[in-house]
């Protein structure tokens, strides 16, 4: 039998009220006289009431965090939790994680909703945790609540990766350097391309941390010679994986069927980068050109040349295709107008590119990161900012998300970096003995490709789901 909405609400309130009363004890134990004496006396002799539900703490007396018997007559000393001053409620909330506030406390009543809905609260909360809180480029509609939650969770996880991740290395299924990894389907599937021309696909949901050999049964597809050249680039949309190779072929793999099938598209050049969305592929090549392809009519592709040297990386969205090359040029192509919208240049190779959320991030040959403001699709080169985050080799992998920026370099290092102006490094990892050729991130899962014939995987022990 389904419970009534009222009983479900009361249950939710009971959980929150119990948690808050525990936090009050912890707060007073930690902060001593933070709360004024009158309020402390009132709390000592109080049974908390939220909405129409009363939770009695008959045996609880709060005295610097120590419980003792309470002989108070609750009829004389009953107040609501919402009667506490907002300053006290905010202080209590500082001991809760952001997700608990947003998913639970935030939804209990209008008072809590109004208290924790304002940007001022989330800005203050962030400033109490980090010296630098300024987003890379702030907008009027910037979601401070979402940013605070993601930054807290990511910072906590990567500050203690052994506690929050199952980390393991995959060395089976390939016999040569791994050049590319790609996570798809919410991080469930990991595609791996290596120089022995093997394509391997692993189902990370099959990882068994209790097994003596937890990675034994992960491989669900392994095919040799799927390309005649090195598999160099990958992208995906839904069940379709796209691979690009030095053999000049782009191949689409349908993972939605029991028998994985593929479609071949031949270009004129080694394929160094791929961007893919439904019915649209953009690829870049060694011959300095960019190709735009509708896989339904693969022979009628469009090619453009905006670089003087090989095009090393590519990305895009529904409006633009962006490329970066050995000539240091970043080209922005307008898909609607059918022509180049803008180009600008940095003083080094553009080895990697990440685009979204009004930001364009670039990784270069010297190990630096560059960021450009793309608000209103202006791609204003005057906003370029450059940061040295400690890499001494080429930045081959670059992904920016709300919670962090992820980089991988030829110097063997992987870095997780704060998503802010003048970013600090949260952690530095060295999963490989050789170059980190590529990285991938999807739904909290992180993977790296190594020239030491291995793949590194960080799988969250507890999966959080986006609520925005």
CATH of the domain at 304: 2.130.10.10
Q: Considering its fold, how many domains does the chain have in total?
A: 2
Q: Do residue 186 and residue 77 come from a single domain?
A: no
Tens digits of residue pLDDT in 113-140: 988 988 889 999 999 898 887 778 877 7
Question: What tokens appear for 143 in the block?
Answer: 């979601």
- C-alpha closest to that of 458 among 154, 217, 84, 167: 167
Q: Do residue 321 and residue 447 come from a single domain?
A: yes
pLDDT at res. 75: 52
Question: What tokens appear for 251 in the block?
Answer: 């191949």
Q: Can you spell out the DSSP letters for 291-348?
A: EEE-TTSTTS-EEEE--SS-EEEEEE-SSEEEEEETTSEEEEEETTTTEEEEEEE-SS
Q: Do residue 238 and residue 380 come from a single domain?
A: yes
The torsion angles phi and psi of 238, rounded to 5 degrees, stand at 55, -120
Burial 347-376 (b: 16+ CB within 10 A, else e): ebbbbbbbbebbbbbbbbbbbbbbbbbbee
Domain ends where: 117, 137, 159? 117
Q: Do residue 327 and residue 226 come from a single domain?
A: yes
Beta strands across the sheet bearing 219-223: 178-184, 189-194, 199-203, 219-223
What length is written for the chain?
Answer: 468
pLDDT at res. 19: 53
Is residue 467 a part of any domain in this protein? no
Q: Do residue 74 and residue 213 come from a single domain?
A: no
Is residue 159 a part of any domain in this protein? no
Ramachandran category for residue 443: left, alpha or beta (phi over 0 → left; psi -120 to 50 → alpha):
left
Q: Do residue 172 and residue 86 come from a single domain?
A: no
Looking at residue 269, what DSSP letter applies?
S
pLDDT at res. 225: 83
Is residue 289 a part of any domain in this protein? yes
Is residue 161 a part of any domain in this protein? no
Q: Do residue 265 and residue 369 come from a single domain?
A: yes
Domain ends where: 117, 137, 155? 117
Residues of the chain with confidence (pLDDT) below 50: 1-17, 20-21, 24-25, 27-70, 72, 465-468
Q: Do residue 389 and residue 259 come from a single domain?
A: yes
pLDDT at res. 343: 96
Q: Do residue 113 and residue 171 come from a single domain?
A: no
Is residue 302 a part of any domain in this protein? yes
Residue at token pair 């995987």 = 457
pLDDT at res. 257: 79
Tens digits of residue pLDDT in 223-281: 988 899 999 999 999 999 999 999 999 999 999 877 788 899 999 999 999 999 999 99
Is residue 123 a part of any domain in this protein? no
pLDDT at res. 24: 43
pLDDT at res. 464: 57
Domain ends where: 117, 144, 176? 117
Boundaries of domain holding 9:
5-117
Is residue 449 a part of any domain in this protein? yes
Q: Do residue 300 and residue 381 come from a single domain?
A: yes
Q: Do residue 268 and residue 332 come from a single domain?
A: yes
pLDDT at res. 212: 87
Q: Do residue 78 and residue 208 come from a single domain?
A: no
Is residue 213 a part of any domain in this protein? yes
d(CA 390, CA 220): 37
């Amino acid at each position: 039998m389904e419970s009534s909405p009222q009983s479900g609400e009361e249950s939710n309130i009971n959980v929150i009220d119990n948690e808050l009363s525990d936090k009050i004890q912890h707060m007073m134990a930690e902060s001593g006289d933070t709360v004024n004496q009158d309020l402390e006396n009132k709390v000592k002799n109080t049974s908390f009431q939220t909405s129409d539900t009363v939770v009695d703490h008959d045996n609880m007396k709060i005295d610097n965090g120590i419980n003792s018997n309470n002989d108070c007559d609750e009829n004389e000393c009953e107040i609501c939790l919402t009667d506490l001053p907002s300053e006290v409620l905010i202080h209590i909330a500082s001991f809760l994680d952001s997700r608990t506030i947003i998913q639970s406390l935030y939804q209990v009543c209008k008072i809590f909703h109004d208290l924790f809905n304002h940007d001022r609260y989330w800005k203050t909360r962030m400033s109490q945790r980090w010296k630098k809180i300024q987003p890379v480029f702030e907008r009027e509609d910037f979601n401070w609540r979402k940013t605070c939650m993601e930054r807290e969770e990511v910072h906590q996880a990567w500050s203690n990766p052994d506690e929050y991740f199952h980390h393991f290395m995959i060395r089976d299924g390939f016999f040569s350097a791994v050049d590319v990894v790609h996570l798809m389907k919410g991080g469930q599937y990991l595609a791996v391309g290596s120089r022995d021309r093997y394509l391997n696909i692993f189902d990370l949901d099959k990882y068994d941390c209790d097994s003596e050999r937890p990675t034994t049964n992960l491989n669900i597809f392994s095919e040799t010679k799927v390309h005649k050249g090195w598999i160099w680039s990958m992208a995906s949309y839904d069940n379709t994986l796209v691979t690009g190779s030095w053999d000049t072929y782009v191949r689409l793999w349908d993972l939605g069927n029991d028998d994985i099938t593929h479609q071949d598209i031949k270009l004129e050049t080694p394929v160094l980068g791929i961007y893919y969305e439904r019915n649209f592929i953009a690829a870049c090549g060694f011959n300095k050109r960019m190709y735009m392809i509708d896989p339904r009519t693969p022979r009628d592709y469009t090619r453009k040349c905006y670089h003087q040297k090989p095009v090393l990386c590519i990305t895009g969205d529904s409006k633009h295709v962006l490329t970066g090359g050995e000539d240091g040029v970043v080209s922005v192509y307008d898909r609607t107008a059918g022509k180049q919208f803008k180009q600008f240049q940095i003083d080094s190779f553009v080895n990697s590119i990440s685009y979204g959320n009004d930001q364009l991030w670039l990784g270069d040959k010297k190990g630096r990161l560059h960021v450009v403001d793309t608000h209103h699709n202006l791609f204003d080169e005057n906003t370029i900012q450059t940061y040295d985050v400690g890499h001494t080799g080429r930045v081959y992998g670059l992904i920016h998300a709300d919670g962090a920026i992820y980089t991988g370099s030829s110097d063997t290092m992987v870095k997780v970096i704060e998503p802010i102006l003048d970013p600090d490094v949260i952690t530095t990892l060295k999963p490989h003995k050789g170059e980190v050729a590529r990285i991938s991130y999807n739904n909290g899962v992180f993977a790296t490709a190594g020239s030491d014939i291995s793949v590194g995987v960080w799988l969250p022990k507890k999966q959080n789901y986006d609520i925005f």
